[in-house]
């Protein structure tokens, strides 16, 4: 079987999650209630969040596989691990924020 670099794939997925988060931030800042459709805006943001969550699950899978198969833990592994904790913080803080309103 061909060698799979799990930490590399986890790192790539975390980079894509960061790109999606920056795109969501830009769309939120640029949103104007008078000229944009609010329902469509919420749909787009939800689709981005679903894609980011799937990438997050894949990141966790590859990080676990990297640990189980005892592969080397280079900078890609550690950045992906820190990014995964950052995404978990963002995810749980948004759940807490929306549950209080």
Instruction: Give 42-96 as a DSSP string.
Output: HHHHHHHHHHHHHHHHHHHHHHHHHHHTT----HHHHHHHHHHHHHHHHHHHHHH
Provide the pLDDT for residue 34. 82
Whose CA is closest to 80, among 96, 60, 97, 100?
Answer: 60
Asked if the model's pLDDT at residue 101 lies above 70, the reply is: no
Confidence of residue 6 (pLDDT cuts 50, 70, 90): very high
Higher-confidence position of 74 and 95: 74
The residue extents of the domains of the chain are 6-100
Asked if the model's pLDDT at residue 1 lies above 60, the reply is: no
Q: What is the pLDDT of residues 25-75, one digit of tens each?
A: 999 998 888 888 889 999 999 999 999 999 999 999 999 999 998 888 899
């Amino acid at each position: 079987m061909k060698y799979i670099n799990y930490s590399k794939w986890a790192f790539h997925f975390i980079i894509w999650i960061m790109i999606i988060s920056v795109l969501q931030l830009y769309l939120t800042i640029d949103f104007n209630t008078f000229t944009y459709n609010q329902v469509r805006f919420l749909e787009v943001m939800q689709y981005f969040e679903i894609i980011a969550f799937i990438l997050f699950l894949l990141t966790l899978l590859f990080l676990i596989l990297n640990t189980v198969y005892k592969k080397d833990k280079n900078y890609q592994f550690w950045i992906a691990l820190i990014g995964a904790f950052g995404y978990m913080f963002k995810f749980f803080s948004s759940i807490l924020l929306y549950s209080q309103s």
